[in-house]
Amino acid sequence: MPVRKSESSRRRLPPSLEFVVLVVTLWFEFIHHHGTKSTTFQKHPGDMFEPIPKETDMIAAQVLDAAFTVHRKLGPGLLESVYEACMCHELTKRGIPFKSQLALPVVYDGIQIDAGLRLDLLVDDEVIVELKAVTNMMPLFEAQLLTYLKLRGKRLGLLINFNVPLLKDGLKRIVV
């Protein structure tokens, strides 16, 4: 019989945040099933990875809720550093653990090289968030996030471009 986590060992969210998490999760499922902003990479054709754990999806939903709050208050047109500082403030207010500008070393030929790579945000040691404030999203940004996910051994990344009138048009979810 599978072991279940007790209610006391699970992190509980305030009811209002649980609703937001539900809405964002449903939104992700909607866009995933309609083939727009969600990307799933496969090892081999027909072989899907294990699903992302619900806890990780909830973290991503909380990040997106924070991003929507920041975008609603500031709108587009600012520097990436401003959005990053505001995202850090929002995550802190919500009690969500994160690290910003985290160094990401590269292991090459058996040695660790600090090549100056930095993650914008690593949230709850599960979700890598790459922030942008650009006019046009480039495929390079997705490749960058994919590489960060592989180097860090994580499965879920969010690419968030704040320089759009509607934030939903600046979101990309990457799963490896």
Band (pLDDT 50/70/90 cuts) for residue 139 is: very high
- pLDDT at 20 (0 to 100): 62
Percent of the chain with pLDDT over 90: 70
Per the structure, the count of domains in the chain is 1
Q: Is residue 158 within 8 Å of residue 126, measured between CB atoms?
A: no
DSSP-based three-state secondary structure for 86: helix
Inside any domain, residue 135: yes
Q: Which domain holds residue 97?
A: 15-175
Q: Is residue 130 within 8 Å of residue 103, measured between CB atoms?
A: no
Phi, psi of 114 (to 5 degrees): -85, 100
| 124 has a pLDDT exceeding 50 | yes
In this predicted model, what pLDDT tens digit does every residue of 5-16 receive, in sequence order? 444 445 565 666
Inside any domain, residue 27: yes
| 28 has a pLDDT exceeding 80 | no
DSSP-based three-state secondary structure for 166: coil
Residue labelled with tokens 């975008």: 71
Q: Is residue 40 within 8 Å of residue 175, measured between CB atoms?
A: yes
DSSP-based three-state secondary structure for 99: strand
In this predicted model, what pLDDT tens digit does every residue of 78-114 receive, in sequence order? 999 999 999 999 999 999 999 999 999 998 999 999 9
Q: Is residue 99 within 8 Å of residue 87, measured between CB atoms?
A: no
- pLDDT at 103 (0 to 100): 96
Q: To the nearest 5 percent, what fractions of the chain are helix, strand and coil?
A: 45, 25, 35
Q: Is residue 85 within 8 Å of residue 164, measured between CB atoms?
A: no
Inside any domain, residue 3: no
Counting Cβ atoms within 10 Å, is residue 131 exposed (0-12), middle (13-18) or buried (19+)?
buried
Inside any domain, residue 2: no
Q: Is residue 119 within 8 Å of residue 126, measured between CB atoms?
A: no
Inside any domain, residue 147: yes
- pLDDT at 86 (0 to 100): 98
Please tell me the least confidently modeled range out of 26-35, 36-45, 138-147: 36-45
In this predicted model, what pLDDT tens digit does every residue of 35-48 receive, in sequence order? 444 444 444 444 55
Inside any domain, residue 62: yes
Band (pLDDT 50/70/90 cuts) for residue 34 is: very low
